[in-house]
Amino acid sequence: MQIRFGTSGWRGIIAREFTWDRVNRVVDAIGLQLRGEGRNSIVIGGDCRFLSPELSESTADRMAGYGFDVLLSCGPCPTPVLSHACRKGGHGGVINFTASHNPPLYNGIKFSPWHGGPADSDLTASIEKMIEAGGKPERGSGSVVSKDLRNDYSRDIQKYLNPEVFTNSGLKVVYDAFSGAGSGLLDRILVELGASIRVLNGTRDPLFAGRQHPEPGESGTADLALEVISSGASLGVATDGDADRFGIIDENGEFVSPHDFLPLLLNYLVEVKGYTGTVVRSITTSSLIDRIARDHGLETVVTPVGFKYLGAEMLGGGVILAGEESGGLSILDHVPEKDGILACLLAAEMVCAGGRGLAAQLDDLWKKYGRVYVSRVDLHLDGFLGEHIAENYFGSDPSEIAGLTVDSVDRTDGVRMILEGGDWVLIRLSGTEPLARIYVQSDSSERRDDIIEKVTSEFHSMKNTV
């Protein structure tokens, strides 16, 4: 069974693919990679999943035995905090034990090089070859320093906020920590800014309080929405298990999709904070961002899915906002990695600065720029579906999908089919799970829903084919 890195690291089911011995093989390969680059220090930590704390400590000792100086998180630690520690301390990389939003049975290793962002494909391919070769770094005499990495992060994140707008704002926030590493950090920062906070699922639970898909999307934040309504809160926020992804609930208890939040945030960063530069989004993210960027004379760069592509753009400098539809963003010279904590803090600041909730602010945005409707459907690749997609969409240029005429095809990532009138359907395969992800965008919610129904009906018939 080969070890392969997906869009955000190597992940597997615990005790089946993700075993202690296989973890050590990956760690040894990372050690060899860093040695080859002449680097001798590393940050190690993990989230709240099964074995993440134990593997973090074991890996720290292993890397110290190879002569590395290790900065070890003294407890569960959000992914963006580990990235921040790497950049701040000038370390050679990060070994992060997390499977992000995958089901509870999964764990994984996310490796980030010196810049703190996701490793690119060339780097992970190099590590995969070293895993196959099975070598180990030479022994050495390194060190392990254990530290609460959240304190430096908490202090440095203030440069991206306007603390004065929180003063006397009366901000009330409900935060769902998803039993993960964001608990005790995001809520603490908000309290220090002057907000009133109620925390849901703030205690470590590797089973994610029974959630089979611990992702802060619309279905995953249903309980949070109810709590916002019942408590009369100004805002609901959520982070996933490693706190790199965000979820937002507005003052009416409605889920604010990243497709809507990212354009709203961009408009705020430009009009209120006065930021200028480039805007970066993944191909699956709403093109409403493009309209706002154009209106302000800004360039938009569209990347494949995966924050490693957005982070690479950030490394070049001059990026105002980098965001993707799966609930990841970063800004300016912050870490070139998804940061759900920063996203939630910026949402709270927008509410305070605007003096009203996000629903009201979105209404104004849509009146000015129009509204774009984007939805995603995930289908398991079973039955005949995988072969059907490979043959008819990835292996050829489709002229139609589910009876709808295709005008042109974009293969930036997967297969994006632009339909008559400008609506589009995109099919791509998940890099972390056996799923086909189907995205549809339209300026009309009715057309979007009709396209989704036609496409999923066709694909479900393929799933049932033997």
| Residue 51, pLDDT score | 96
**1 in any annotated domain:** no
User: Is the model's pLDDT at 290 over the cut of 80?
Assistant: yes
Q: Torsions phi, psi of 4, nearest 5?
A: -130, 140
**359 in any annotated domain:** no
Classify the C-alpha dihedral 213-216-222-227 as positive or negative: positive
pTM value is 0.93
Based on the fold, state whether residues 238 and 276 are members of the same structural domain. Answer: no
Total domains in the fold of the chain: 4
Tell me the average pLDDT of the chain: 94
Based on the fold, state whether residues 50 and 100 are members of the same structural domain. Answer: yes
| Residue 254, pLDDT score | 98
**204 in any annotated domain:** yes
Greatest alpha-carbon pair distance for the chain in Å reads: 65
User: Is the model's pLDDT at 82 over the cut of 90?
Assistant: yes
First to last CA, the chain: 26
Q: Per residue in 303-343, pLDDT tens?
A: 998 899 999 999 999 999 999 999 999 999 999 999 999 99
CA distance 190 to 169: 12
pLDDT higher at 56 or 9: 56
User: Is the model's pLDDT at 466 over the cut of 90?
Assistant: no
User: Is the model's pLDDT at 379 over the cut of 90?
Assistant: no
| Residue 432, pLDDT score | 60
> Please, which residues have CB within 8 angstroms of residue 411's CB and are 6 or more apart in sequence?
none
| Residue 113, pLDDT score | 97
CA distance 122 to 126: 6
> What's the 3-state SS for 11-77?
EEEECCCECHHHHHHHHHHHHHHHHHCCCCEEEEEECCCCCHHHHHHHHHHHHHHECCEEEEECCCC
**Residue 304, number of CB atoms within 10 A of its CB:** 16
Based on the fold, state whether residues 116 and 244 are members of the same structural domain. Answer: no
Are 392 and 401 within 8 A, CB to CB? no
| Residue 402, pLDDT score | 82
Q: Give residue 245's Cα distance to chain centre.
A: 4
Based on the fold, state whether residues 199 and 281 are members of the same structural domain. Answer: no
CA distance 8 to 23: 16
> What's the 3-state SS for 392-418?
HHHCCCCCEECCEEEEEEECCCCEEEE
**457 in any annotated domain:** yes
pLDDT higher at 188 or 394: 188
Pairing of strands 69-73, 328-331: unpaired
Based on the fold, state whether residues 147 and 50 are members of the same structural domain. Answer: yes
Based on the fold, state whether residues 86 and 115 are members of the same structural domain. Answer: yes
pLDDT bin (cut points 50, 70, 90) of residue 276 is very high
User: Is the model's pLDDT at 463 over the cut of 90?
Assistant: no
> Strand pairing partners for 420?
none
CA distance 346 to 259: 16
| Residue 465, pLDDT score | 56
Based on the fold, state whether residues 242 and 282 are members of the same structural domain. Answer: no
Based on the fold, state whether residues 61 and 144 are members of the same structural domain. Answer: yes
| Residue 302, pLDDT score | 96
Rounded to an integer, the average pLDDT of 368-376 is 94
Strands lying side by side in the sheet with 435-442: 373-380, 435-442, 424-429, 415-419, 404-410, 400-401
**92 in any annotated domain:** yes
| Last residue in a domain, options 219, 254, 289 | 254
Based on the fold, state whether residues 384 and 317 are members of the same structural domain. Answer: no
Rounded to an integer, the average pLDDT of 197-216 is 95
User: Is the model's pLDDT at 117 over the cut of 70?
Assistant: yes
Are 236 and 227 within 8 A, CB to CB? yes
Rounded to an integer, the average pLDDT of 224-235 is 98
92-96, 119-123, 265-269, 386-390: least confident range = 386-390
| Last residue in a domain, options 153, 183, 203 | 153
Instruction: Return the percentage of the chain with pLDDT > 90, whole number.
Output: 86
For residue 443, the enclosing domain spans: 373-463
Classify the C-alpha dihedral 293-298-304-305 as positive or negative: negative
What are the b/e assignments for 94-110, b being 16+ CB within 10 Å?
A: bbbbbbbbbebbbbbbb
Q: Per residue in 6-37, pLDDT tens?
A: 877 899 999 999 999 999 999 999 999 999 99
Helix 20-36 with 121-133: angle, nearest 10 deg:
120
Q: Per residue in 176-194, pLDDT tens?
A: 999 999 999 999 999 999 9
CA distance 56 to 75: 9
> Please, which residues have CB within 8 angstroms of residue 356's CB and are 6 or more apart in sequence?
251
Burial of residue 417 (number of CB atoms within 10 Å: 0-12, 13-18, 19+): buried
User: Is the model's pLDDT at 50 over the cut of 60?
Assistant: yes
Based on the fold, state whether residues 126 and 230 are members of the same structural domain. Answer: no
CA distance 405 to 75: 53
Are 201 and 306 within 8 A, CB to CB? no
Based on the fold, state whether residues 189 and 262 are members of the same structural domain. Answer: no
* CATH number of the domain encompassing residue 197: 3.40.120.10
**21 in any annotated domain:** yes
Which 8-state DSSP code applies to residue 194? T
**351 in any annotated domain:** no
> Strand pairing partners for 69?
41, 143
What are the b/e assignments for 427-463, b being 16+ CB within 10 Å?
A: bbbeebbeebbbbbbbeeeebbebbbebbbeebeebb
What is the residue whose two structure tokens read 């998803």?
A: 178
Spatial CA neighbour of 7 closest among 128, 132, 121: 121
Are 30 and 127 within 8 A, CB to CB? yes
**Residue 395, number of CB atoms within 10 A of its CB:** 11
Based on the fold, state whether residues 48 and 107 are members of the same structural domain. Answer: yes
92-96, 100-104, 270-274: least confident range = 100-104
User: Is the model's pLDDT at 403 over the cut of 90?
Assistant: no
**345 in any annotated domain:** no
* CATH number of the domain encompassing residue 456: 3.30.310.50
Report CA-CA distances (Å) from 205 to 75, 77, 124, 177, 298.
14, 14, 30, 11, 43
Q: Torsions phi, psi of 230, nearest 5?
A: -70, -30
| Last residue in a domain, options 254, 284, 306 | 254
